[in-house]
Structure formats: C-alpha cells, structure tokens
Amino acid sequence: MPDRSPLSRSEYRHVVSRFATGVSVVSTILDGRRHGLTVNSFTSLSLDPLLAMFACEHDAALHQPLIGAGAWAVSILAADQQSTSAYFATRERTGTGPDQFDGWASRPGPVTGAPLLDGSLAWLEFRTWATYDGGDHTIVVGEVVSMQAGADGPPLLYFRSDYRA
C-alpha cells in the first residue's frame, strides 16, 4: 500500500457533510439546571432492548451534566425549529443565565424530568445504558424509558453544512 499523507480534519468534515442527517436536541437536568445540545449524531440502535445512541463532544457544556445525571432526553426537531437548533448548537449562549432552556417552550419529561422542546416531531427519554470512548467524543447509549410522537410535518435536516427541510 502506498504511503499516504495524513488526512485532514477539514477534508473529513467536507466529505461527511454529504450525508444528510436529522437534527435533534439532547437534554438533561442535573441539580435543578437544564442543559441542552444540538446533535446530528442521534440514531436508533436496537429494538431488543430499545436502545439509541449519540456522540457528545468531551468539551461540550452538556458532557459533564449528562454523565452525572445518567438520564437524558431527545427532541427530534421539525423544519420550523431551525432557530432552536442554532441556539443549542452555539457554545456561548449569552444572556440565558444558568438555565439553558430559559425562554424556550418546553416541558419536563415524565420519567427523567429532562426538558422536551414543544413543537418537536417526537420525544424520547433515556437512562444511560453504556458509554464508550470515541476519540474527542463520548458515545452515549441509552435505553428508552419514555417516548411520544409529536407534530406531523417535515423534519429539520442538516446537509452540506447547512439546514434543509
């Protein structure tokens, strides 16, 4: 096999941006504070038991509360929730105070208490099943403890580094 120069992170991001993904907000609550993060790495994993997973960057503000709480929720975003996605994707959320969900219509999940965003296509709650090292991310696998379908309509998608519907 011929010698190859190291592959670049920017080229990798450019190439994988060709894969369209759904957009979700993962949330948790720890010590009364609500935390959230936009992810496009959420995916179903198993039907027996009911498992799903996502990847959380080690230096994301959600990482430590998520690991500490051991429970979390996912709000699967609708096409008209692009501003919600953009907010929870921003590392510096100025003017929001200690609660990242202040000003966002949500309700506590019936099992975990993690915030569920109003207007989403679906909601799921999880207990953490396992975590795995994934380089600069932690792969978080959760067992479904509650779920509900929400609004009908088109999903919010992410493709080629931009939102789509």
Position 165 scores a pLDDT of: 77
Q: How many domains does the chain have?
A: 1
- H/E stretch holding 89 reads helix 82-89
Q: Does a structural domain hold residue 2?
A: no
Residue 80, beta-bridge partner list: none
- Give the percent of the chain with pLDDT over 70: 94
Could you tell me which residue, 161 or 118, shows the higher pLDDT?
A: 118
- H/E stretch holding 127 reads strand 122-134
78/120 Cα distance (integer angstroms): 5
Q: Does a structural domain hold residue 33?
A: yes
pLDDT at position 94 over 70: no
CA 89 to chain centre: 9
Q: Does a structural domain hold residue 157?
A: yes
Q: Does a structural domain hold residue 129?
A: yes
Q: Which domain holds residue 46?
A: 24-164
How far CA 52 is from CA of 7, 8, 31, 105, 150, in Å, comes to 30, 29, 25, 25, 18
pLDDT at position 5 over 70: no
What would the pLDDT profile of 31-78 be if each residue is shown by its tens digit? Answer: 999 999 999 999 999 999 999 999 999 998 899 999 999 999 999 999
* Model confidence band, residue 95 (pLDDT cutoffs 50, 70, 90): very low
pLDDT, mean over the chain: 91
**CB-side exposure of 38: number of CA atoms within 13 Å?**
21
- Which CATH number does the domain housing residue 51 bear? 2.30.110.10
Position 58 scores a pLDDT of: 94
45/139 Cα distance (integer angstroms): 12
Q: Does a structural domain hold residue 3?
A: no
pTM assigned to the model = 0.91
Position 6 scores a pLDDT of: 82
Q: Does a structural domain hold residue 153?
A: yes
Q: Does a structural domain hold residue 57?
A: yes
Q: What is the arithmetic mean of pLDDT over 147-158? A: 94
* Model confidence band, residue 3 (pLDDT cutoffs 50, 70, 90): low
* Model confidence band, residue 91 (pLDDT cutoffs 50, 70, 90): confident
Torsions phi, psi for 102 (to 5 deg): -55, 130
